[in-house]
Amino acid sequence: MSPSQSMLQSPSEARTAMLGIKLVSLANLLRLVPETDDFRIGKQSVTAALDAFAQVGVGRHAAAHGAQFMAGNLTPRLTTKMLEDVLEAIEQSPLPDHEWAPMAELLGDDLLESLLGASASSVRRYRTGERPTPDRIAQRLHFVSLIVADLAGSYNSFGIRRWFGRSRQALSGQSPSGILAGDWDSSDPGATDVQALAAALLAPMSS
């Protein structure tokens, strides 16, 4: 995914670019916006992502600034604050109805079941809507989705699955899937280390 500088007032606004990349990547991953072969990150794609999340009830306040952003009427500081606000809202808002299908497709049943700490039969029921997704499973699914969105700009589906299984020095020799196993929570230190490792991939893309 090659970020376009068109969404920035200054090429030095690396953080704004990173936030825009993360937002658009999430919208694409969850299929909230139409699929496209154009992976540039610009005003149009960011505005479309803002609108898409607002339509599913997340970040509506930030999306209200979309027209001003599209017209170039927001300062770099306000643009960054808008993106931070909507991403914070997204991080606190599991969307299992939109997350089950892409996560199952990208990760495969075995890895997904392991990461969520749920049996194959339970996952099938949650995915099909036969049973509501319990809060703890929805939270884990959402956390994994956020990680995968960060990985999607650097890896294909095969690479993403391998990323979870490879031991990492930054994780004291453990693999992400080894840490995200059993009865884990997104606030656990190990889980936040995994998230930070995936998020670090966005920094070079925003430069």
Over the stretch 97-116, which tens digit does the pLDDT of each residue have? 999 999 999 999 999 999 99
Expressed as residue numbers, the domain containing 79 is 5-91
pLDDT tens profile 48-63 = 999 999 999 998 887 7
Q: Is residue 207 part of a domain?
A: no
Going from the C-alpha of 38 to that of each of 11, 34, 203, the distances in angstroms are: 21, 11, 20
Token output for 187 = 């606030």
State the virtual CA torsion across 127, 180, 114, 90 in degrees, nearest 10.
10
Please check whether residue 105 lies inside any domain of the structure.
Answer: yes
Q: Are residues 17 and 67 in the same domain?
A: yes
Q: Is residue 112 part of a domain?
A: yes
Same structural domain, 82 and 120: no
Q: Are residues 123 and 196 in the same domain?
A: yes
Nearest Cα to Cα of residue 186 among 117, 135, 140: 140
The answer as to whether 69 is a domain residue is yes
Domain match, 74 and 108 both:
no
Q: How confident is the model at residue 40, as a pLDDT?
A: 65
10 Å CB burial of residue 28 (0-12, 13-18, 19+) is: buried
Is 31 inside any structural domain? yes
Q: How many domains does the chain have?
A: 2
Write the pLDDT tens digit of every residue in 143-184. Answer: 999 999 999 988 999 999 999 999 999 999 999 999 999 999
Contact 117, 181 (CB under 8 A): yes
Domain termination residue (choose one: 61, 91, 121): 91
Question: Do residues 86 and 124 share a domain?
Answer: no
What is the C-alpha to C-alpha distance for residues 146 and 141, in angstroms, rounded to an integer?
9
- Are 115 and 187 members of one domain? yes
DSSP string, 173-198: T--HHHHS-SS--TTSHHHHHHHHHH
Length reported for the chain: 207
Give the position of tokens 């392991």. 114
Residue with tokens 């049996």: 119
For residues 116 and 123, is the Cβ–Cβ distance under 8 A? yes
Q: Which of 74, 91, 108 is the last residue of a domain?
A: 91
